[in-house]
Amino acid sequence: MKTQSILLRYHEIAIKGDNRNWFEKCLVQNIKKTLQRTLGQNAPIDLQRIYGRILLNTEWNSLTSECLQKIFGISNFSPIQKVQTNLDSILLGILNESQTYITENGYPQSFRIKTRRSEKALEKTSAELNQYFGSEILKNFPAFKVDLKNPELTLGIEIRRKESFIWSQKILGSGGLPVGTQSPVLALLSGGLDSPVAAIQIMKRGSPTSYIHFYGTPFVGKESLQKIENLVRVLNRYQPSPQPLYIIPFGSIQEKIAQVTQPKFRTILYRRMMIRISNEIALKIKAKALLTGESVGQVASQTIENISTIESVSQIPIFRPFVASNKDEIITKAKIWGTYCISIQPALDCCTLFADHHPALHSELNQVQAQEKLFSVQELMKTALQSAEMMIL
Ligand code: ATP
Ligand code: MG
């Protein structure tokens, strides 16, 4: 297996001063853990922090590239050649790089040189170096055409004091912040399209994310749970360590609520129970917020009044990354992140069990609280928490 040096870049904007050290350490650890999970514990993985960048030496194949694309905090990366920092060695490097490009892709329509002096090592400015190397390339490859705005081939040179880097490929990463740079969150995960994507969005802001699913057993089949497990497997690829999934058997609890309450309030009552139970689990695992895939107006339980009636039982914030997104925007993301194919598989969610065809659209808190006097919230919560199961996938 070929080992390759890869230059990893991250956005520097959020990480000034002391922050940078902590941010980089977290990112380096995440890269190591994620690559080990993908390539195997014994795969060669050497990581070095060099100012403003991370240098990785590892096996280079499509798996490595896909894996790096899922690590939040990396904005883009390039396989590189290392050369000594002097004009002749750098020139030889970019000539080799051009030749390799031609062998693999044919002659490029156009090219440019992009020099970045990370350390001021040579006696020329970046613009002077671009001109110098550009004219040398044209001498060696007279068919090349310069295009500074939109070239097919960019030959990148990153100048450092002793060793410089040459690259011709920049692969886009996912950006965001390294998972672990923000506090943990607990995601309420249904088998639908929205909540899995919402979970990835919050990981992208740096929060390790655990999952909780309310399982409509015995009124929904095993396929509902299977679907959740498959989704969690995909979601866990976006964080360095797989996080736990809590499963709460919920069908019998819903049945008890449905036996004594008005049909039009049931979905709201279920959802308030879900939030209360999720608060307890969050407290236990030190998650600082809950997360849902809700979007205003998408379904009856997501009117502003109903969202507020549901949220009033929460002691911690509830994040809703898609509150103002359209379904098609969420679907586009689901396809990019790889959850779409699983989410569209048919399986019943517990929310619809014993629910009314005409649910209350503008619930008032006192009406809902009156319904909750008809059963023991505490007892149902106790049952739910006692029967909770945890798994790591
Ligand atoms: P999704 O596509 O995520 O299922 P949705 O548009 O179908 O969302 P609802 O079914 O009303 O909307 O659910 C709203 C949110 O409540 C979901 O995004 C999810 O976060 C949470 N939720 C719904 N059902 C469950 C469940 N069975 N277990 C855990 N969370 C759930
Ligand atoms: Mg749903």
Cα gap 368→221, rounded to integer Å:
30
Nearest CA to ligand 1 atom 16: 292
Nearest CA to ligand 1 atom 25: 190
Cα gap 77→165, rounded to integer Å:
12
pLDDT for 387: 97
Tokens linked to 119: 């350390």
Mutate to test the pocket of ligand 1, among 190, 298, 330 (most ligand atoms within 8 A of CB): 190
Is 192 a pocket residue for ligand 1 (Cβ < 6 Å)?
Answer: yes
**Residues present in the chain in total:** 393
For residue 106, how far is its CA from the centre of ligand 2 (angstroms)?
Answer: 49
Cα 362 to Cα 138, 270, 304: the distances in Å are: 70, 16, 8
280 closest CA partner among 392, 380, 181, 179: 380
Identify which has the larger pLDDT, 191 or 12.
191
- The domain segmentation of the chain, as residue ranges, is 3-172, 185-392
In this predicted structure, the answer to whether residue 244 has a pLDDT above a threshold of 80 is: yes
pTM for the complete prediction? Answer: 0.93
Percentage of residues of the chain with pLDDT beyond 90 = 85
Residue range 93-104: mean pLDDT, rounded: 96
In this predicted structure, the answer to whether residue 7 has a pLDDT above a threshold of 70 is: yes
pLDDT for 214: 97
Is 134 a pocket residue for ligand 1 (Cβ < 6 Å)?
Answer: no
Cα gap 381→215, rounded to integer Å:
14
Three-state SS for 265? helix
In this predicted structure, the answer to whether residue 14 has a pLDDT above a threshold of 80 is: no
For residue 196, how far is its CA from the centre of ligand 1 (angstroms)?
Answer: 9
Nearest CA to ligand 1 atom 23: 190
pLDDT for 393: 96
Is 301 a pocket residue for ligand 1 (Cβ < 6 Å)?
Answer: yes
In this predicted structure, the answer to whether residue 12 has a pLDDT above a threshold of 70 is: no
Is 323 a pocket residue for ligand 1 (Cβ < 6 Å)?
Answer: no
Is 225 a pocket residue for ligand 1 (Cβ < 6 Å)?
Answer: no
Cα gap 40→38, rounded to integer Å:
6
Q: What is the DSSP string of 247-258?
A: EEE-HHHHHHHH
16 — pLDDT class (breaks 50, 70, 90) = low
- Amino acid identity, residue 164? S
Out of 3.30.1740.10, 3.30.300.30, 1.25.40.80, 3.40.50.620, the CATH code matching 185-392 is 3.40.50.620
Confirm or reject CATH 2.102.10.10 for domain 3-172, answering yes or no.
Answer: no
- The model's pLDDT over 122-168, given as tens digits with 9 standing for 90+, comes to 888 999 999 999 999 999 999 999 999 999 999 999 999 999 999 99
Strand ranges across the sheet with 289-291: 318-319, 289-291, 185-188, 209-215, 244-249, 389-392
pLDDT for 11: 79
Mutate to test the pocket of ligand 1, among 340, 351, 363 (most ligand atoms within 8 A of CB): 351
Nearest CA to ligand 1 atom 12: 294
Of the ligands numbered here, which is closest to the C-alpha atom of 217?
A: 1
- The model's pLDDT over 353-370, given as tens digits with 9 standing for 90+, comes to 887 888 888 889 999 999
Percentage of residues of the chain with pLDDT beyond 70 = 98
15 — pLDDT class (breaks 50, 70, 90) = low
- The model's pLDDT over 369-393, given as tens digits with 9 standing for 90+, comes to 999 999 999 999 999 999 999 999 9
In this predicted structure, the answer to whether residue 225 has a pLDDT above a threshold of 60 is: yes
- The model's pLDDT over 271-304, given as tens digits with 9 standing for 90+, comes to 999 999 999 999 999 999 999 999 998 777 789 9
In this predicted structure, the answer to whether residue 21 has a pLDDT above a threshold of 90 is: no
Is 294 a pocket residue for ligand 1 (Cβ < 6 Å)?
Answer: yes
For residue 191, how far is its CA from the centre of ligand 1 (angstroms)?
Answer: 7
Burial (CB < 10 A; 0-12, 13-18, 19+), residue 224, is buried
Of the ligands numbered here, which is closest to the C-alpha atom of 291?
A: 1
Of the ligands numbered here, which is closest to the C-alpha atom of 296?
A: 1
For residue 332, how far is its CA from the centre of ligand 1 (angstroms)?
Answer: 18
Cα gap 72→27, rounded to integer Å:
8
Of the ligands numbered here, which is closest to the C-alpha atom of 292?
A: 1
Q: What is the DSSP string of 20-41?
A: HHHHHHHHHHHHHHHHHHHH-T
147 φψ region: left (φ > 0), alpha (ψ -120 to 50), beta (else): beta
Is 319 a pocket residue for ligand 1 (Cβ < 6 Å)?
Answer: no
Report how far Cα 163 is from the mean position of its chain's Cα atoms. 33
Residue range 298-321: mean pLDDT, rounded: 92
